[in-house]
Amino acid sequence: MKRLAKGLAAAAVAFAMAQTASAQSTYGCTDLDGFHKLPSVEGTEGFFFRVEPELYNHHPFSDETVEDLARVAQSLAQSGTTLIYAPIPPKSMVMTKNLPQRAFDYGFDPDIASTLYDDMIERLQAVGVRAVNLRRALVVGAAQYGAPYFKADFRLNTLGARIVAQAVAQEMQQTGGGFGAPRAAFNSVAQGKIEIDSDMRRILQRHCLIELPRTEVDAFATARAGGGNGNFGTTSGFSGGVNTGNGGTANTGFNNGGFNQGNQGFNQGNGGFNQGNPGGFTQAGNANQGGNFNTGVFNNAPAQTGGGFGQFAQVALVGTEYTADPKLNFAGFLSESTGFAVNNLSIPGGGAFGAMSAFLTSDSYQQARPGFLVWENPVYYNLAKYGDQPMRELMAAGGAGCRLPVPVMGSMDANSIRADLSGLDPMQDYTLMLDTGGSNASLAQFVFTSSTGATRTKSVSRRTEQEKTGRFYVPISGLWSDGVRSLEVRLNAPMNGTPRITACFY
Per-residue pLDDT at 269: 31
pLDDT score of 481 more than 60: yes
Sign of the dihedral through C-alpha 327, 328, 331, 335: positive
Say how many CA atoms lie within 13 Å of 153 toward its Cβ: 22
Q: Which of 47-51, 253-257, 309-313: highest mean pLDDT?
A: 47-51
Can you tell me whether residue 162 is helix, strand or coil?
Answer: helix
| Contacts (Cβ under 8 Å, ≥6 apart) of 15 | none
Per-residue pLDDT at 120: 98
Per-residue pLDDT at 326: 86
pLDDT score of 298 more than 50: no
**Among 455, 505, 503, 451, which residue's Cα sits nearest to residue 482?**
451
pLDDT score of 279 more than 50: no
Q: Are 362 and 233 in contact (CB under 8 A)?
A: no
pLDDT score of 304 more than 60: no
pLDDT score of 35 more than 90: no
Q: 324 exposed, middle or buried (CB, 10 Å; 0-12, 13-18, 19+)?
A: buried
Per-residue pLDDT at 190: 74
Q: 434 exposed, middle or buried (CB, 10 Å; 0-12, 13-18, 19+)?
A: buried
pLDDT score of 244 more than 60: no
Can you tell me whether residue 126 is helix, strand or coil?
Answer: helix
Domains and CATH numbers, the chain: 2-50 (no CATH), 63-181+273-395 (no CATH), 401-504 (2.60.120.1380)
DSSP string of 310-352? GGS--EEEEE-HHHH-TTT-HHHHHHHHHSS-EEEEE-TT-TT
CA distances in angstroms from 168 to 376, 419, 433, listed in the order given = 10, 44, 32
* pLDDT per position as a tens digit, 439-467: 999 999 999 999 999 999 999 999 887 78
* C-alpha Rg value of the chain to the nearest Å: 25
Q: Quote the percentage of the chain above a pLDDT of 70.
A: 77
Tell me the C-alpha distance between 295 and 275, whole Å. 18
**DSSP class of 178:** G
Higher pLDDT, 254 or 170: 170
| Residue 238 pLDDT level (bands cut at 50, 70, 90) | very low
Higher pLDDT, 341 or 114: 114
CA distances in angstroms from 293 to 299, 342, 400, 433, listed in the order given = 10, 15, 22, 21
* Terminal Cα-to-Cα distance of the chain (whole angstroms): 77
Per-residue pLDDT at 258: 37
Phi, psi at 386, each rounded to 5°: -110, 30
Per-residue pLDDT at 179: 66
pLDDT score of 429 more than 60: yes
Q: How would you classify the pairing of strands 315-319 and 342-346?
A: parallel
Q: Quote the percentage of the chain above a pLDDT of 90.
A: 59
Per-residue pLDDT at 178: 65
Per-residue pLDDT at 334: 93
Per-residue pLDDT at 465: 76
By residue count, the chain amounts to: 506
* pLDDT per position as a tens digit, 67-96: 999 999 999 999 899 999 999 999 999 999
Per-residue pLDDT at 246: 30
* pLDDT per position as a tens digit, 368-422: 899 999 999 999 999 999 999 999 999 999 998 999 999 999 888 999 999 999 9
* H, E, C per residue of 58-122: CCCCCHHHHHHHHHHHHHHHHCCCEEEEEEECCHHHHCHHHCCHHHHHCCCCHHHHHHHHHHHHH
**Among 135, 152, 231, 258, which residue's Cα sits nearest to residue 197?**
152
Tell me the C-alpha distance between 458 and 473, whole Å. 11
Of the candidate ranges 74-88, 182-196, 463-477, the one whose mean pLDDT is the lowest? 182-196
